[in-house]
Structure 1
Amino acid sequence: VLHVDHTAIKTLPDSIGLLCNLNELQLNFCPRLVALPSNICKLRSLQTLFVTACSNLEQFPLELGNMECLRELHVGGTAIRHLPDSIGLLKNITVISGHGNCRSLATKSHFPSFQFLALPRSLNTTSFLPPSVSGLHSLSELDLSYCSLSDGDIPDDLGGLSSLRVLDLRKNRFCLLPSSLGQLTSLKKLFLSRCWKLKSILEFPPNLRRLIARDCRALENIPDLSNMKFLKYLDLESCCKLTDLSCMWYASSPLATSCAALQIYRVLHADHTAIKTLPDSIGLLCNLIELHVSFCPRLVALPSNICKLRSLQKLFVTACSNLEQFPLELGNMECLRDLHVGGTAIKNLPDSIGLLKNITIISAHGNCRSLVTKSHFPSFQFLALPRSLNATSFLPPSLSGLHSLSKLDLSYCSLSEWDIPDDLGGLSSLRVLDLRKNRFCLLPSSLGQLTSLEELFLSRCWKLKSILEFPPNLRHLIARNCRALENIPDLSNMKFLNYLDLESCCKLVNILGLENLNCVQEINMEGCHYLSTSFACSRRSLIHSTRHDIKGFMNNRSAI
């Protein structure tokens, strides 16, 4: 193996041909490389050759075909226009990567073992495509992404690529796909994202496993998917003209009735689409584990059959602003772990949510009134309250039942000191507490009982005047811009604190115990202009005993 990437070489010595056992040569990103010696073609054991991004390299030696073991040739980003005709002698070649401007790559369609072809990402790619691809019987991956292909540019015999497993057509200009696409019986992955003019797809390859067609803004219709027995992942995010998903699975089809075609589904993305509801047959996707229908402003209802998705683990309906309610049978989704309903018109979740024993995350930044009153979820790990002036009506009187809660987000909730339940300290598993942008003047004394808490966020709590006690095992304390904060407790016993950010706490007078923070890595005190002279001793001691970053030292010297 020989690597000389990113060097200033202009050529290789003729003696390169003496490296008779060399099997990999990398010459990438050598902008001064202008020629390769003909003796390079004597490397009969060479299997992989990279000259990517050698922008001044214009040609290959005519004897290229003598490199009989060559399997991979990467020439993207060079000035090479043509490869020598002798390339047709390379019977073992499987990969040619030509993202750049090599004009003849795709015309050598007689390689019996050819497996991978990546065409140049260029406005002139049409001149690089051969009129026929049927000779590439071993081609397994074809990358035509970002090639600005229009209707008619893709060869009609595309369906003759009998071994093709991956087809990448992202960011092209066609309105339709060739009808022969459905003949690609070996195709497993199809990428169509950002084909902004694509209006319709007539037929899909029958054995497709993964279909990603994000941001196809003109796409209005897709074919019936009920016969696609192996499809596991479907992503139609931001197909904003797609109004109906019922074409994906028909309950009346024999396959749908038996679930033979539908039980393979694992993930479905339909975010940013124009759908108004989901078809009743959604309940037939019996092995679906993720369903994403966020940012669908026309979505007004979910069918009750969605609750038959007993394998579903994650459900996202975020920012579906006209969605007003969930089906009453929500509790039947026994595997549901993550539920994201922020930004909807949902006011209450059905009482059956209490049956969801595996629920660990409910994210409700929005206005769902009843989320946090269901405090009997034994495995509950994450709770995010609505960012609302009325958030106080969302908090339960007690948090003590949430023994598994590890993250609590009460940021931007306009909470006053009497709004936070007194038993906050009973959250024995809590690791992250976010209280940013609230109205309280004091924090509950039980805060110090949170022995598992590692991260505490208090920034922009503008009325906060004093903190009585910190949790003992805190690692990150971020309290930026707490303008009224005058006192914080002694930090001497905080053995694990490694990040302290008190920027713009402009009324803070003293920080006790700073010199005892053995684990601290970074302290930010910029804008703390009123720190006392007693603080200076602590800070100098810390500076002399550590090499840690202490921001704001020079800014505050004049005030000390």
Structure 2
Amino acid sequence: MSICRGVEWLPHCVGDLSALTDLWVCRDAERARLPDSVGDLVTLTTLQISGRLCTLPASIGNLYALTKLFIVDCDWLTALPATIGNLKSLSRLHLASCAMTGLPACLSQLEALTKLSIVLLSELKSLPPRLGDLAALTELTISQCDALTALPSSLGSQRSLRKLFLEELPITTLPDSIGGLAALTSLEVHTCRAFSRLPHGVGELRALTRLSLVECGLTALPGALCRLSALVHLDVFSPLLTALPTRLCDLRALTRLNLWRCEDLVALPDSICDLQSLRVLDVGCCRTLKRLPARMGELTALSGLGVHGCAWLLDGAPDAIRAAASDLPLLRALVRVTEAGPCADALALAKSMSIRGGMEWLPHCVGDLSALTDLDLSDAERARLPDSIGDLVTLTTLQISGCGRLRTLPASIGSLHALTQLFIEDCDELTALPSTIGNLKSLTSLDLASCAMTGLPARLIQLEALTELSIVSLSELKSLPPRLGDLAALTELTLSQCDVLTALPGSLGSLRSLRKLFLEELPIKTLPTSIGGLAALTSLDVHACHNFSRLPHGVSELRAARTPVSNACLAVLPARLGDLRALTRLDLSMCDELVALPDSICDLQSLRVLDVGCCRTLKRLPARMGELTALSALGVHGCEWLLDGAPDSVRAAASNFNPYAEDW
């Protein structure tokens, strides 16, 4: 059951839903309250809560079958009930964006808890002292808790913990007991700028394979770090780091050492040359580093060396080291999945590549990846795409996201004739798509989100295989291609949060294959009169379009529509609404300007659910409402006067209405 859209209470009878396993109280239900009877949901396994809840009922501790609890964006929720410790089946707890200053001590009694995530609790000052009693915990994430200055010493008692992720915390170190985490394989401390000391106990983490210390205030690493015999991956991005431990050579399993932007690092220890398993070394932007150790040529496994921003390190270096710094080995280091493993022609067999963070360029020789089918370029803020990307003739999926300084895409992208899915998201400086995008004849899905585009190329309409088009948060987008209706294969169109898109093209009605049209947070006032031409349309949703005041008469031609417009600020409905013979559900809730329902609504013989809740300017129901023989549910919350003088069948439909029923 999902509860959204302005609900101010959850009725006490919710406890009678004896078979309910999943309950979501969404953020849109800002003022929703949970009744004590929620504790009667003995079969509930998943509970997700978001909104302006002030308290949770103590009866929540009676949900003995609950395995997952998510509490998110509850800005007024300052505490969890002490009874939460009774949730003996709970395996996952996620707390985010709440006002809690502390967590109940009984949290340590959650004996089945394996995953605990605490994010954006900006008022949280401490964790339960006996947090270490969570014996089953395998993953712990603590992020963006601005007042949490220390972690409890009992942390080291969590013998099952495998992953510990700490981000944007004002902590200065870890508890000395950290060495007790015998099962820990991954320790990540990111953007904790006050973090200045790694305790010696870290050397006892004999199962640790990954250690990532990113944007911290470390000036040195303890010598005990060199006892991490299983360590495979070490990331240290610390601008204040001046030196590395001299016994670094003891890290015999280390394959990747990333020292990116260690700007005060003046030298690498000579012992680094004894790391015979080391395949990738990145000292990019270590600008005070004067030279590489003389014995660097002895690193026989080294296939990738990053020296971006300090190319002088290659002066006088042996040929093997220079080769390791070339583009091709860099690609080898980036390939995520190959069929051949680490062999000479692994690149030729690579199927998938994921490039995340830190990259400032994609090498030209990316075009040599002749078998590549999937390319994911994410969070590489300064990345640029070379023209050779068009040589990836087998590429089927391309995802570009979080590339904040990507301003253009190469025209050669139009040569990706096998491409079926293209995702471009969070590219804040990308203002246009190349016109060659129209050459992507195999493209079936195009997703554009959070970019700076003011328009889309006219040749977009040449994407003859396109079935799904999603355009979200293009706040500068002023118009769509006039001939958008030429996309003959399009079945789903989503337009959301485009703040200056004031109208849709008249050709929209020519999309004969379109089945789903979703419009959200647009400044449009109406739909094109051609809307009636959407012969295949089964779902039309208009959400939070606050200027939307008129539904064109053409909507009555949507003979296949089963779920038409909902949650729009309509003042008038088409007189021929009754022509929608297949209509089973009509949601007009919160249409504050709607003054009357057309009499033809009574001709909707398939209509089962009608919601006119909170339509406070609606004076009466049509006189023929009793003719709606299929009507089984009528929502009139906030305007109960509509039932005055209504026939018994209509009153019965109002008593049956359940706003939370997912099948309505």
TM normalised by structure 2 equals: 0.51
1:96-115 map, 5 Å = 103-107=175-179, 115=185
Aligned-pair CA distance for 1:234: 3.1
Aligned-pair CA distance for 1:352: 6.4
Which of 321, 333, 354 is residue 228 of structure 1 equivalent to?
Answer: 333
Aligned-pair CA distance for 1:326: 1.7
Mapped partners of 1:388, 1:540: distance in 2: 43
Contact persistence 1:361–1:382 (CA under 8 A): yes
1:446-457 map, 5 Å = 446-447=555-556, 449-457=558-566
Mapped partners of 1:98, 1:321: distance in 2: 31
More strand by share: 2
Aligned-pair CA distance for 1:319: 7.0
Alpha-carbon displacement from aligned partner over 1:138-196 (angstroms, at most 9, x marks no partner): 42355768xx8423354478687564467798xx9756798899989777999x9xx9x
Which of 141, 150, 155 is residue 217 of structure 2 equivalent to?
Answer: 150
Instruction: Percent identity, please.
Output: 11
AA aligned to 2:563 is E
Contact persistence 2:463–2:487 (CA under 8 A): no
Aligned twin of 1:534 = 645
Q: CA RMSD in A?
A: 6.0
Query: Structure 1 residues 375-384 or 364-373, which shifts more?
Result: 364-373
Aligned-pair CA distance for 1:313: 0.7
Aligned twin of 1:481 = 591
Aligned-pair CA distance for 1:30: 8.8
Mapped partners of 2:509, 2:114: distance in 1: 66
Question: Matched residue of 2:423: which SS?
Answer: strand
Task: Call closer, same or farther: CA 1:441–1:333 in 2, change over 3 Å.
Answer: closer
Aligned twin of 1:37 = none
1:11-160 map, 5 Å = 31=105, 55=128, 80=153, 103-107=175-179, 115=185, 129-130=199-200, 133=203, 138-142=207-211, 149-155=216-222
AA aligned to 1:245 is E
1:546 and 2:656 equivalent?
A: yes
Mapped partners of 1:288, 1:397: distance in 2: 28
Aligned twin of 1:278 = 385
Alpha-carbon displacement from aligned partner over 1:445-479 (angstroms, at most 9, x marks no partner): 55364324324225113455756324533335135
Aligned-pair CA distance for 1:421: 0.5
Which of 376, 379, 382 is residue 267 of structure 1 equivalent to?
Answer: 376
Task: Call closer, same or farther: CA 1:143–1:372 in 2, change over 3 Å.
Answer: same
Aligned twin of 2:70 = none
Contact persistence 2:461–2:483 (CA under 8 A): no
Q: How many pairs does the alignment contain? A: 456
Contact persistence 2:186–2:208 (CA under 8 A): yes
Structure 2 unaligned blocks of 5 or more: 1-81, 86-102, 118-125, 143-149, 273-277, 282-307, 311-324, 337-352
1:303 and 2:417 equivalent?
A: no
Aligned-pair CA distance for 1:380: 3.4
Aligned twin of 2:625 = 513
Contact persistence 2:573–2:597 (CA under 8 A): no
AA aligned to 1:340 is L
Aligned-pair CA distance for 1:403: 1.4
Contact persistence 1:245–1:279 (CA under 8 A): no
Alpha-carbon displacement from aligned partner over 1:472-503 (angstroms, at most 9, x marks no partner): 33335135235143124445856564462442
Contact persistence 1:460–1:480 (CA under 8 A): yes
Contact persistence 2:567–2:588 (CA under 8 A): yes
Aligned-pair CA distance for 1:304: 1.0
1:433 and 2:541 equivalent?
A: yes
Contact persistence 1:140–1:166 (CA under 8 A): yes
Aligned twin of 1:503 = 614
Aligned twin of 1:443 = 552
1:354 and 2:462 equivalent?
A: yes
Task: Call closer, same or farther: CA 1:121–1:32 in 2, change over 3 Å.
Answer: farther
Aligned-pair CA distance for 1:525: 4.0
Structure 1 unaligned blocks of 5 or more: 1-5, 10-28, 35-47, 61-69, 209-219, 237-241, 551-560
Contact persistence 2:176–2:200 (CA under 8 A): no
Task: Call closer, same or farther: CA 1:311–1:49 in 2, change over 3 Å.
Answer: closer
Aligned-pair CA distance for 1:341: 6.7
Task: Call closer, same or farther: CA 1:474–1:73 in 2, change over 3 Å.
Answer: closer
AA aligned to 2:363 is W
Question: Matched residue of 1:421: which SS?
Answer: helix
1:313 and 2:418 equivalent?
A: no
Which of 478, 492, 508 is residue 381 of structure 1 equivalent to?
Answer: 492
Task: Call closer, same or farther: CA 1:127–1:302 in 2, change over 3 Å.
Answer: closer
